[in-house]
Amino acid sequence: MVIKKAEFTTSLAAADPFMGDGTVEIAIVGKSNVGKSSLINALARNQKLARTSSEPGKTRLINLFRFYTQDERQFTLVDLPGYGFARVSRDEKARWQGMIEGYLSQSEDLKHALALVDIRHEPSADDQAMVEYMRHYGIEFTVVATKADKLSRAQVSRSVQAICRALQVQPWEVIPVSAQSRQGLDKMCDRIGNVLEQAENTADAVQQDELTDDFQDE
């Protein structure tokens, strides 16, 4: 899958007001400062699309970005607030958590999630809790290990093994990436393309079942 262009759509202060338009949504979740905004910009080939900051905790809204592919498909990347940032109040943490859980549990158009972890560190308790949350709600996800350019190939391999153990996933479910060197971005685009194709096939099957039911009712 090749991305043709991307654009910012809107920001939301809560999940409740957002009603999807039927476009496939792919959520991006991860700790503060794990590189969500940098990854979005790298995918879009636009360094100004998503606001980046060296200070953790800057993404305090749900930010939506519409992506368009060369084969005329569309999908929405949903950038959720980062979790695990210590220097905010307990009430603010609770509000962010409510936004994340509210979106993940309520969105009807969510088809996949990209769970970002920093490849240089073992997944935290918050990372593990997020993965278990998505498993509980039946949300399919891919683990995206960011900042892979900071490690050697051997170190990347060892880190992927550690991530697999901590999050109880298989190596093929982990994609090491770098927003700087673009390592792994093609593989991630292919994974997104598979998600879009699967969603289309499911929609076609549902439509066929509805037509069959209508015919039988007649």
Check residue 146 and give its pLDDT.
98
Q: What is the DSSP letter of 121?
A: S
DSSP 24-70: -EEEEEEBTTSSHHHHHHHHHT-TTSS---SSTT---SEEEEEEEET
Check residue 3 and give its pLDDT.
96
Check residue 203 and give its pLDDT.
75
* Below-70 pLDDT ranges, the chain: 15-19, 53-59, 85-89, 206-218
β-pair type (110-118, 62-69): unpaired
The whole-angstrom separation of Cα 110 and Cα 141 is 11
The whole-angstrom separation of Cα 72 and Cα 136 is 33
Check residue 122 and give its pLDDT.
95
Check residue 214 and give its pLDDT.
56
| Class at the top of the CATH hierarchy for domain 3-191 | alpha beta
Amino acid at site 206: V
Check residue 83 and give its pLDDT.
83
DSSP 82-102: PB--SSS-HHHHHHHHHHHHH
The whole-angstrom separation of Cα 12 and Cα 78 is 10
Check residue 105 and give its pLDDT.
87
Listed by start position, the domains of the chain span: 3-191
Check residue 51 and give its pLDDT.
84
